[in-house]
Structure 1
Amino acid sequence: MYSRTMLKVRTLSNNLKMYGSTSSNFVNVSVNDKSGVAIVTMQREPVNSLNLELITQLKTALSDLERNKCRGMILTSASKSVFSAGLDIMEMYKPNQERVRNFWLSLQDLWMTLYGCSYPSVAAINGHSPAGGCLLSMSCEYRIMLPNFTIGLNETKLGIIAPSWFVATMKNTIGFRKAEMALTLGFLFTTEEALKVGLIDEVASSKEDAIAKADKFIGQFAKIPPQPRTISKLMLRSKDIETLRKTKEQDLQAFLQVVNDPKTQKGLELYLESLKQRKA
């Protein structure tokens, strides 16, 4: 059904040379030849932690789809249990300063690209989706989630403050009051709870069902002229995108200050130690 011989979007490793990365392919893109809808699959095992390479490859894939005028995009995961576990802690623990700077700037660019893309976007959430994984999901126009998973911005439970553009995205998705409670509590919603508050739009029985529902959603726009659709979308979203665009450096410096704080580094060290103990 979905062709594997596609747009230049599939060859992404060359775009990563500026960061000194390997040629690992953490993103796969397949496009339905008939509908023009693309499936973008995160495949950085085991939990799609958002490191610099994955973020950069996602940004490149989405930008290439924009240039190739795709008819719609479905974002999903190759994992059977995790959509994305969020930001890779190892990018922030004892960081190389040039790399951590590129990491945050690339994340900003990824969000602006996904949140403001002209084509219809759907998150097929086939696993847990905390923190940065929730941000990616909310940045899409429509969210379909499988049962028995969790989603939310749980930063406060980890002693971290979600950036203002994370907050704006959640507020725009579920409304001020629900976002306020969710963010301050660091709450992770179950699939059923997420549906109830409007964090997701549908529940699917399987990944295949989620993809089918996503196709159906995107299909609604087949008879809608693309330009009016895009302009209408950006009328709702452009203010927050422009706010970040104008304050990118300020946002970056705030992030670097927090990351380089000894208390933050100690907290990250304790968290990594707890992960080791769980594995043991």
Structure 2
Amino acid sequence: MALASRARALLPGARSWGAVLARVTAQRAMSHRVVVETDAAAGVAVMKFRNPPVNSLSLEMVTELVINLEKLENDKTVRGLIFTSESPGVFSSGLNLLDMYGRNPAHYAEYWKAVQELWLRLYQCPMVTVATINGACPAGGCLISMTCDYRVMADNPKYTIGLNETQLGIVAPFWFKDTLVNTIGYRASEISLQLGLLYPPAEALRVGIVDKVVPEDQVHSAALAVMAQWLAIPDHARQLTKAMLRKPTVDNLVRQRDADIQQFVSFISRDSIQKGLQMYLQMLKQKKA
């Protein structure tokens, strides 16, 4: 049975927005790292990150995200997509350091091409996309949330969001930078990127890296309310407007995609960068011990 048909069979009459999550279709997709649940009546899918302990964007998880996005884009019953996490206290820790340390250049190139592909699909996604940031959201996790049309963050001072690459001795690529500049403006991005700042909820709202901060138990209901507002706009008008606004940023990466991969491989292969990553990974192991 097709996904849409299965959803209709399981969710007859599911119309109200308040019941979307309570009555989502139990459609488990792909593997343990990504779970997709769809409410066909509401036209909304929820994509849950399930790659414990911290939802790091491993090559396997990135690949699954891309495949699931493609499937949802081809499902005409789905107009909106909500991202969230099943890992307590973490939305996504970002890029997987184990894919960037101690590997060969071919692996680095494969990994970076997959990360590029994920960003290109997310940033151009025709669906309405809402991030429910229900945990820490640094680096690549922040990038995923910034590709969304709207970001709702849980009001928990333990949760922070930002591109903190410089704190790890890494430089955020130009398309990470472009996404941040498009979100919070040039000067705020200049300060944020150079210092590798991570913003708690209230500060994240002030700087504009998130759009709404709500109590932790209300992030999903707030996302559904936002989704209802955005889905009230005719799809073709909204999609064309989104594409027009984002096309220059997308084109900037597309033109330089191969060069960006080569630059990443060259940078991440440096002895100084590898040693820095090794020290950071050892520090993380000591914290866990």
Q: Do both share a fold (TM > 0.5)?
A: yes
Distance change >3 Å, CA 260–CA 111, structure 1 → 2: same
Is 1:63–2:67 an aligned residue pair?
Answer: no
Cross-structure match for 2:259 = 250
Q: For each residue in 1:152-206, what CA deviation from the matched residue of structure 2 results, as whole angstroms up to 9, or x when unmatched?
A: 0001111111000000000000011111110111000001100111111111212
Matched, 1:73 2:81: yes
Matched, 1:160 2:167: no
Once the two structures are overlaid, the 10-residue window that deviates more, 227-236 or 94-103, is 94-103
SS across alignment from 1:189: coil
Tell me which of 86, 94, 115 is aligned to 1:107: 115
Distance, in Å, in 1 between the alignment partners of 2:87 and 2:283 is 23
Paired with 1:68 and 1:238, the residues of 2 have a C-alpha distance of 23
User: Is the 2:83–2:131 Cα contact (8 Å) retained in structure 1?
Assistant: yes
Q: Distance in 2 between matches of 1:146 and 1:223?
A: 25
Residue in 2 that maps onto 1:151: 161
Shift of 1:71: 1.3
Match of 2:4 in 1: none
Kindly provide the amino acid, as one letter, of the partner of residue 49 in structure 1: S
1:44 aligns with 2:51: yes
Question: How big is the shift at 1:212?
Answer: 1.2
Percent identity of equivalent pairs:
43
Judge conservation of contact 2:29–2:35 (CA < 8 Å) in 1.
no
**Counterpart check, 1:27 vs 2:66:** no
RMSD: 1.2
**Deviation digits for residues 236-279 of structure 1, max 9, x if unmatched?**
11111111112110000000001111111111111111112222
Partner of 2:144: 136
Question: Where do residues 1-280 of structure 1 align in structure 2 (5 Å cutoff)?
Answer: 1-5=23-27, 10-12=28-30, 24-69=31-76, 70-147=78-155, 148=157, 149-207=159-217, 209-280=218-289
Alignment size in residue pairs = 264
- Give the unaligned 5+ runs of structure 2: 1-22
Q: What is the deviation of 1:213?
A: 1.1
Runs of 4+ with deviation above 4 angstroms: none
Name stretches of at least 5 consecutive residues in structure 1 with no aligned partner. 13-23
Shift of 1:33: 2.8
Deviates more, 1:44-53 or 1:267-276: 267-276
The secondary structure found in structure 1 opposite 2:249 is: helix
TM-score between the two structures when normalised by the length of structure 1? 0.91
Query: Which amino acid letter does the alignment assign opposite residue 119 of structure 1?
Result: M
Q: Deviations over 1:19-50 (max 9, x none)?
A: xxxxx420000011321101000000000011
Query: Any idea what SS the aligned residue of 1:66 has?
Result: helix
What TM-score, normalized by structure 2, do the two folds share?
0.89
Structure 2: how far apart are the matches of 1:62 and 1:222?
Answer: 18
